[in-house]
Amino acid sequence: MKKILITGGAGFIGSHVVRLFVNNYPNYQIYNLDKLTYAGNLANLKDVEDKPNYHFIKADIVDGEQMQALFEDHQFDSVIHLAAESHVDRSIANPMEFIMANIVGTVNLLNAARHQWQGDFEGKRFYHISTDEVYGSLGHTGFFYETTPYDPHSPYSASKASSDHLVRAYHDTYNLPIVISNCSNNYGPNQFPEKLIPLIINNIRNEKPLPVYGKGLNVRDWLYVVDHARAIDVIFHQGGDGETYNIGGHNEWKNIDIVKLVCEIMDGKLGRADGTSEKLITFVKDRAGHDLRYAIDATKLQNELGWMPSLQFEEGIRKTIDWYLENQSWLDEVTSGNYLKYYEEQYQKR
């Protein structure tokens, strides 16, 4: 019997992690703690909300006293920490929210765990979920390894880098049992349509311009979100204490090629003539400090813990597009209200 606190479980990746743990480990009690920001959505977890081993706590990790009180009340023995502000463009517009949630929030959880566990670390684990963006930007060749020096460029990646350093510092200073993983770009169902792939899908369905930053030549390494959740399961259970694991899809794409692929698949699915959606592509002003290329070497995870991605990208992207087309009410819901204001602010000036 384990009592696991999963933070950010109502978000994109968190909801897939919560689902996997609730379904695969009925003997664990899973506590999903989430502030329900614009990115958090309990509709993502409808299928597990009535399970006896699932519990939801609405709380803000920036409130340190509340984190301490929750640890005292529930006696969590493990943490899988995903809660974060996660969108680079928002971090450029509002860095302080990222400093608070990603840095202060992480330290509050570290303090609460340390205080509650009191040096008795048997069966305890603090698992911090991070990103490959902490490593900075690659040129046209090479990969990020676990040993690659940190070199973040956006307020988002700098805040994640900072939280990674603090998690390691609590391990080295207080022996807190920690593990960290740094994953490449995720895609799949339930991703908020501010990120590239769901934004493009949503705009194609609405026949709106498809904003491509710069020349669309930046490269990302895409992983299907359920494969990330599977990696988190493996690392949580088998990862070494104090270790870092890179997670990636060996699946590099230029942004423009992804956008064209999504256009082509959606034209087919929506019964539009070939080439219809591509006409919506609009090159817009580049993102400030835009990292050119991310690419993960996930050999350590594969060799030591036996994890590999299970889905090919062609299959994953089709599954993802199908999900959004079958769940248009989810898209309608999250793109009403504040999303319109956000969209106008981000894209009108580009």
Contact positions vs ligand NAD (CB under 6 A): 7-8, 10-14, 34-37, 39-40, 60-62, 82-86, 101, 105, 129, 131, 160, 183, 185-186, 192
| Residues that are catalytic | 132-133, 156
Q: Residue 244 touches which of ligand TYD, ligand NAD, none (CB < 5 to 8 A by kind)?
A: none
- 195 near ligand TYD, judged by CB under 6 A: yes
In this complex, which beta carbon is closest to ligand TYD, that of residue 8 or of residue 211? 211
Q: How far is the CB of 220 from ligand TYD (least distance, A)?
A: 5
> Which residues on neighbouring strands pair with residue 246, listed in sequence order?
182
Whose Cβ is closer to ligand NAD: residue 121's or residue 145's?
145
* Spatial CA neighbour of 291 closest among 144, 147, 193, 146: 144
Smallest gap from residue 78 Cβ to ligand TYD (A):
27
Residues between 244 and 273 with contacts to ligand TYD, criterion CB under 6 A = 255
Q: Verify binding: residue 182, ligand TYD, rule CB under 6 A.
A: no
The footprint of ligand TYD on this chain (CB under 6 A) covers a number of residues equal to: 12
CB of 4 to ligand TYD, least distance (A): 27
Nearer to ligand TYD, 110 or 199 (CB): 199
Query: Does 211 help bind ligand TYD (rule: CB under 6 A)?
Result: yes
| Residue 220 binds ligand TYD (CB under 6 A) | yes
